[in-house]
Amino acid sequence: MMMMLLLTLLFPSRPHFRLGLPCRHAIAAASCRNMQYTMFVCKHHLKERWAETVRGIILPVPDPKDVEVPAEILTVDLYPPTTKRTKGRPGIKRKLSAGEIPIRLLC
């Protein structure tokens, strides 16, 4: 856990460190040094923590025919949203490289 905190402080912009998961380079470096890569993983991602969530009884999803739906819900009319979708393929939005000049193609 302390190693994960240290990596988070050293590399704050890396999303995998903020999530508590090591990147593939960290796993490769740990295995090269014969270290357990699990020491780089946050305790919330370990099997012991996740095993607690599924320890109880998990019931199957009931058949929709067996579910009682109130009559006032069955009579409600649902309509699609009033917003309009734009036609055609969406335009490409990207940042230009250094020195790149935007060119409009006329068809």
Amino acid type, 77 = D
* 19 phi/psi in degrees, rounded to 5: -80, -15
Whether 20 is in a domain gets the answer yes
Total number of domains constituting the chain:
1
The pLDDT score that the predictor gives to residue 9 is 55
Global pTM reads: 0.33
Whether 106 is in a domain gets the answer no
Q: Which residues of 85-102 are buried (b: 16+ CB within 10 A; e: fewer)?
A: eeeeeeeeeeeeeeeeee
* Domain of residue 46, residue span: 2-51
The pLDDT score that the predictor gives to residue 102 is 75
Whether 30 is in a domain gets the answer yes
pLDDT along the chain (107 residues), means of 10: 56 60 78 79 79 79 85 87 82 79 72
Whether 98 is in a domain gets the answer no
The answer to whether 49 and 38 are in contact (CB under 8 A) is no
> What letter would DSSP give residue 54?
T
Residue with tokens 């470096």: 29
